[in-house]
Amino acid sequence: MVFSSITFLFYFLPLVLLFYFIFHKKGRNVVLLIASLFFYFYGEPKYIIVLILSCVLNYWFGKRIEKDRKHAKSYLIVNLILNFGMLFYFKYFNFVIQNINGLFHTDFSILSIVMPIGISFFTFQATSYTIDIYRQKVSSAKNLWTFATYLALFPQLIAGPIVRYETVSEELEHRQETKQEVAQGIQRFIIGLSKKVLIANVIGELIAILTDLNTTTVLATWVTAIAITLQLYFDFSGYSDMAIGLGLMFGFHFLENFNYPLIAKSITDFWHRWHISLSSWFKDYVYIPLGGNRKGKLRQYWNILIVWLLTGLWHGANWNFIFWGLYFAVFLILEKAFLKDYLTKHPIFAHTYTFLLIIVSFVIFHFEDLNTLGQFLKNMFGFGHIAFSNVETIYYLRSYGIVLILAIVAMTPIKKVIEQLTKKARWKKRIDRIEPFYYIILFLMCIAFLVDESFNPFLYFRF
């Protein structure tokens, strides 16, 4: 079940909200837990056991790590082996076997393994929980049901953001739902739904059309590359907005996951703004434990390389994701080595350089077949022996021009300009009057698009 579906919007969510607010506060976690398990079961019936097993194991290890400090490190190591062993089996086992077969000309069998939805997200959440208990940053959950509610919480279960236990530990036990925050949650959800349905899905249609053209052009490849970047941003940031909005409806305050990353002034700045919960997870649980920047420049560069190799692998068991991670590692190292000062002094160049690198990065991210990726990059940079443009390219560019312009405007902090206007007395009353109609119209437009279209995937759904 995805958030941008009629089933979720008109059946699942209204029923969950109804039962949630009917129940007394002490029973609301039970409602959320049952709803979350059903939500996961609806999408992955046979793999619900994986999620339940992760809940039970990590809760038990969290308790043992907290109570038995003498053997806490041993418990943590076993816990990490089990968590990442499960992730490795479902996500990377066949990838490793395929590469062994290719490298050594062996014939090991490929298993019929389907990766459970969201396993990368809930594995990282569970791991951060036990590590933070070991570091004595948080206390363990008081009971299994509370911890299971945290790990399985449906707003962020299948595609993040990666919510750490310390962020919501207090709210799991003592939270106050208010009418104002429920209203804010609904507004935030509608904004995310609009990003997904009105922008990402439509741009996805353009990508499908352009990649299927019989005769491609240099211009078509660049439009496709920009469209891929915009689609991924609005798809994933839209999902994060919906997750944060749902959290507010139930009294939870999830941390922001995106901060206008496509206007970044360096690759370093980009990763301070993009998928913040993931980059901060790798920083706190991998980069800093490896030594961070405390052991000299060469060691720092090595640590960056390891972190971004793992970041690439986290996104998928395929070589394009590995190359994607290493691609970012190279530019992060170059910026730390000598580019940082130059980018600071030349802001126009910095933004242009960053946006172009981001576009190329998501082309690498998009094409899992390396031959297709290589040919696409050749075409982008004029080495594919193709025309710069043709009538067909111009036709589709004009047809989807409005949504591309809208997406480019929406990737900027225009919302902050509007917020500044609302603070002025003469504008505030007018905006307050029309704001409810704005959200109603957006929601109705989303429903119209959902009823009318079949293209509605979540790009991060299987991470």
As a whole number of angstroms, the distance between CA 318 and CA 73 comes to 33
Give the dihedral of Cα atoms 302, 304, 310, 311; nearest 10 deg. -170
What is the phi/psi pair of residue 349, to 5°? -60, -40
Given a contact cutoff of 8 angstroms between Cβ atoms, the answer to whether 105 and 146 are in contact is no
Amino acid at 76: L
Q: Active-site residues: which are they?
A: 315
**Measured CA distances, 394 to 59, 100, 120 (Å):** 57, 45, 40
Nearest CA among 174, 211, 148, 220 for reference residue 380: 220
**Residues 76, 58: Cα–Cα separation, whole Å:** 10
State the amino acid at position 88 in one-letter form.
Answer: F
Tell which residue, 43, 35, 164, 55, has the closest CA to residue 115.
43
Distance between CA 219 and CA 221 in Å, rounded? 5
**Under the phi-then-psi rule, with left for phi > 0, alpha for psi from -120 to 50, and beta for the rest, what region is 175?**
beta
The CA distances from residue 63 to 25, 95, 110, 406, in Å, are: 25, 34, 37, 50
The pair of three-digit structure tokens given for residue 138, joined into one six-digit string: 């948080």
DSSP 8-class letter at 8 = I
Please say whether the beta carbons of 193 and 3 come within 8 A. Answer: yes
**CA torsion through residues 388, 393, 398, 403, sign:** negative
Q: How many Cα atoms are found within 13 Å in the side-chain-facing hemisphere of 457?
A: 10
Question: Do 121 and 159 meet the contact criterion of CB atoms below 8 Å apart?
Answer: yes
| Tokens matching residue 224 | 């496709």
